[in-house]
């Protein structure tokens, strides 16, 4: 079952990355689209989760609208409050678990999971909780648009969410320097990062599929200087341009990374025919190194002309 089935509308009303709104790194958003003051929230290191509460019960869905598995404990907790002041709506949350890594919890609740989880993992699953940060009415989610500003949606949520559930606090940041201080404070407490949301009513509506100025993030990251061993040309409108560089990684593995901020279309064209790219060292930055030794969301940074040996 997908989220639209559960809501009783056309199953494929929206699919994939069109189901909900997305977050973009704040450095990739033009300054003209950043209106101060802004709202800041701690970014939890969890799995994006849509909580759909109806008269017929509660179900949890992924960002792409697929039903999550092994989450009965969480749905039962919410259904206990059917008669409370928690109304039927779609609540946007992070599904977190402080007893295991993000990769482990993601695997346990994956919509595609078929294999039963072990007894040990069942015990770990009991530490799962939901961190609430946004909410939509059914008609807004189905239409893919809410004209209500984020601050209005947040206060609606804050007034109706039972106290037993976690609500991510909001902080008002007057200028960019305040955002930097807030980020430093959040990272010092070992959080993943910060999500910034517009306070301006005209820029803080909700739009399915949008990725940009409405909601931005700044996260902790890792960075390695790696040697490029191959290039990958794009297809379609990206033909004639480099889309990925391939780097030597640990244990004879490779890492494929897209060109990040600072690289232009002209750079991508020139790079395709530059014989010196292969063998050069580039900075590769990513969200984090996973427990399996992979880099999450790697991007190519500057070419390190000052280095002759890679970090790995």
In SS3 terms, the chain reads as: CEHHHHHCCCCCCCCHHHCCCEEEEHHHCCHHHCCCCEEEEEECCCEEEEEEEECCEEEEECCCCEECCCCHHHHHHHHCCCCCCCCCEEEEEEEEECCCCHHHHHHHHCCCCCCCCCHHHHHHHCCEEEEEEEEECHHHHHHCEECCCHHHHHHHHHHHCCCCCEECCCEEECCHHHHHHHHHHHHHCCCCEEEEEECCHHHCCEECCCEEEEEEEEECCEEEEEEEEEEEECCHHHCCCEEEEEEECHHHCEEEEEECCCCCHHHHHHHHCCCCCCCCEEEEEECEECCCCCEECCEEEEECCCCCCCCC
**Predicted local confidence at residue 89, as pLDDT:** 97
pLDDT band at 107 (very low <50, low <70, confident <90, very high): confident
pLDDT tens per residue across span 125-160: 999 999 999 999 999 999 999 999 999 999 999 999
Give the residue with greater pLDDT, 222 vs 256: 256
Which of 71-75, 83-87, 251-255 comes out lowest in average pLDDT? 83-87
User: What are the residue ranges spanned by the domains of the chain?
Assistant: 3-219, 222-303
Residue 85 to residue 180: CA distance in whole angstroms: 37
CATH code for the part of the protein at 222-303 = 2.40.50.140
With 0-12 / 13-18 / 19 or more C-beta atoms within 10 angstroms meaning exposed / middle / buried, residue 44 is buried
Question: Does the bond joining 37 to the residue before it have cis omega, within 30 degrees of 0?
Answer: yes
What band does 238 get if pLDDT is binned at 50, 70 and 90? Answer: confident
Confidence (pTM): 0.78
Is 90 exceeded by the pLDDT of residue 300? yes
Q: Is the pLDDT of residue 85 over 80?
A: no
Q: What is the pLDDT of residues 18-74, one digit of tens each?
A: 999 999 988 889 999 999 999 999 999 899 999 999 988 899 999 999 999 999 999
| Rounded Cα gap, residues 272 and 153, in angstroms | 47
> Is the pLDDT assigned to residue 251 strictly greater than 70?
yes
Residue 6 has a pLDDT of 96
Pick the CATH number of 3-219 from 3.40.50.300, 3.30.470.30, 3.20.20.80, 3.40.640.10: 3.30.470.30
Q: Using pLDDT thresholds of 50, 70 and 90, give the confidence band for residue 288.
A: confident
């Amino acid at each position: 079952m997908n989220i639209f089935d559960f809501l009783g509308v056309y199953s494929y009303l929206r699919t994939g990355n069109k189901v909900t709104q997305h977050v973009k790194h704040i450095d990739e958003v033009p300054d003209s689209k950043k209106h101060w003051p802004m709202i800041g929230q701690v970014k939890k290191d969890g799995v994006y989760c849509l909580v759909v509460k109806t008269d017929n019960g509660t179900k949890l869905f992924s960002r792409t609208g697929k039903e999550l598995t092994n989450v009965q404990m969480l749905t039962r907790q919410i259904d206990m409050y059917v008669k409370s002041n928690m109304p039927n709506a779609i609540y946007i949350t992070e599904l977190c678990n402080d007893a295991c890594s993000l990769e482990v919890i993601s695997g346990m609740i994956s919509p595609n999971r078929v294999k039963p989880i072990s007894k040990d993992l069942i015990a770990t699953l009991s530490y799962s909780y939901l961190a609430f940060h946004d909410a939509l009415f059914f008609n807004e989610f189905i239409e893919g648009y809410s004209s209500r500003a984020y601050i209005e949606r947040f206060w609606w949520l804050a007034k109706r969410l039972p106290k037993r559930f976690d609500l991510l606090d909001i902080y008002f940041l007057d200028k960019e320097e305040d955002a930097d201080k807030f980020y430093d404070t959040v990272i010092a407490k070992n959080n993943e990062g910060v999500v910034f949301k517009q306070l301006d009513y005209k820029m803080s509506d909700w739009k399915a599929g949008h990725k940009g100025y409405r909601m931005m993030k700044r996260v902790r990251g890792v960075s390695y200087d790696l040697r490029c061993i191959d290039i990958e040309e794009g297809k379609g409108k990206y033909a004639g341009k480099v889309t990925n560089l391939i780097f030597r990684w640990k244990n004879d593995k490779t890492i494929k990374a897209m060109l990040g901020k600072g690289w232009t279309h002209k750079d991508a064209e020139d790079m395709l025919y530059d014989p010196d790219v292969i063998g050069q060292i580039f900075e590769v930055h990513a969200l984090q190194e996973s427990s399996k030794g992979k880099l999450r969301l790697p991007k190519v940074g500057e070419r390190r002309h000052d280095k002759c040996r890679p970090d790995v």
